[in-house]
Amino acid sequence: MYDSFFAYTSHASRVFIVGAHARKLLRSYVHHGMSSATEFEHLLDAVSQYQPALTPLLQLIRDEGHTTECPALWKDLLECLSSASPVCGLLHFDPVLFELLDKILSGYDCSQSVESLVYIQEHLPVLASIVCKVGCPDVIKPIIKELIIKAKSPYFQGKPHITGMCDTDCKCDGQDLSFFPQWPKLAHRGSYVLDSKQADSHQKCTKRGSSHPTLTPGLFVMSCTHGNTQANMPSTMGS
């Protein structure tokens, strides 16, 4: 049960391309190009091993003769897909957006709808720039499908967590403020038992600097019910 519940919480299950070497090769191609067609074939083999959904697009790029330089049309998309960050950071959990993407995969031409284009531009701009120019070619449909799967997967494990039903000693304290308001609540708030076991007697909230004593204590992340987040330093919290 433990393995099934946490199956989509690992880094490997959330990034688009699992292999770090393949991500590095793709990122290098986007920024610097490849020195030869042979080097591009190495990229194609490496990426196809870890993410077959990318194979049709890379094959198209090769067949069009762009083995040494990444075409401008695909640069932003490939750079995002080569990221080591989770897919849900690129494609947020948004049922409206998922429904629109499903319609596009089924043949819906969103370029004929200003409302649809605006929504994609606001929520997935890297795809909007492609759709506006060439529509939704077949080579990127496997990519969109895989993005949807990886974006949804972390939120469909187990039953939703209802904070109002927590036990009296639960760290959630029955407060929704312990969670990001936009995301489904699937687990209790963490209980960091080891914090009370430390021998260090310093209890006050402070930062004890050594090599960089002038750095700020950190960033506070604020989130509203619409899913927007803003990072603030302590000095800007009230501005």
The Cα 145–Cα 8 span in angstroms is: 17
Q: Is the pLDDT of residue 239 over 50?
A: no
Residues 72, 86: one domain?
yes
Would residue 37 count as lying in a domain?
Answer: yes
Q: What is the pTM of this model?
A: 0.68
Q: How far apart are CA 102 and CA 21, in angstroms?
A: 31
One domain, residues 27 and 145: yes
For residue 231, the cross-strand partners are 221
Run of H or E residues at 45: helix 37-50
Which of 68-77, 112-121, 210-219 shows the highest mean pLDDT?
68-77
Which pair of tokens denotes residue 168? 């009296």
pLDDT value of residue 110: 85
pLDDT at 226 exceeding the cut of 60 = no
212 part of a folded domain: no
Instruction: Name the percent of the chain lying above pLDDT 70.
Output: 61
Give the rounded distance of the alpha carbon of 43 from its chain centre. 22
The neighbour count for residue 4, using CB atoms within 10 Å, is 9
Mean pLDDT taken over the chain: 79
| pLDDT score of 32 | 95
Give me the numbers of helices (H) and strands (E) for the chain, helices first please.
Answer: 10, 2
Q: Which residue range is the domain that position 223 belongs to?
A: 159-188+217-239
pLDDT tens digits for 99-133? 999 999 999 988 888 899 999 999 999 999 898 88
**Mean of the pLDDT values across residues 224-228?**
53
Instruction: Tell me the C-alpha distance between 126 and 131, whole Å.
Output: 9
- Three-state DSSP at 230 gives strand
Per-residue pLDDT, 113: 87
Q: Are residues 29 and 60 located together in one domain of the fold?
A: yes
pLDDT given at position 177: 60
Q: Is the same domain home to 140 and 62?
A: yes
**How confident is residue 13, by pLDDT bands cut at 50, 70 and 90?**
confident
Asked whether the beta carbons of 45 and 52 are under 8 A apart, the reply is: no
222 bridge partner residues = 230
Q: What is the pLDDT of residues 177-201, one digit of tens each?
A: 656 666 666 666 665 555 555 555 5
Co-location of 84 and 177 in the same domain = no
Residues 145 and 167 in one domain: no
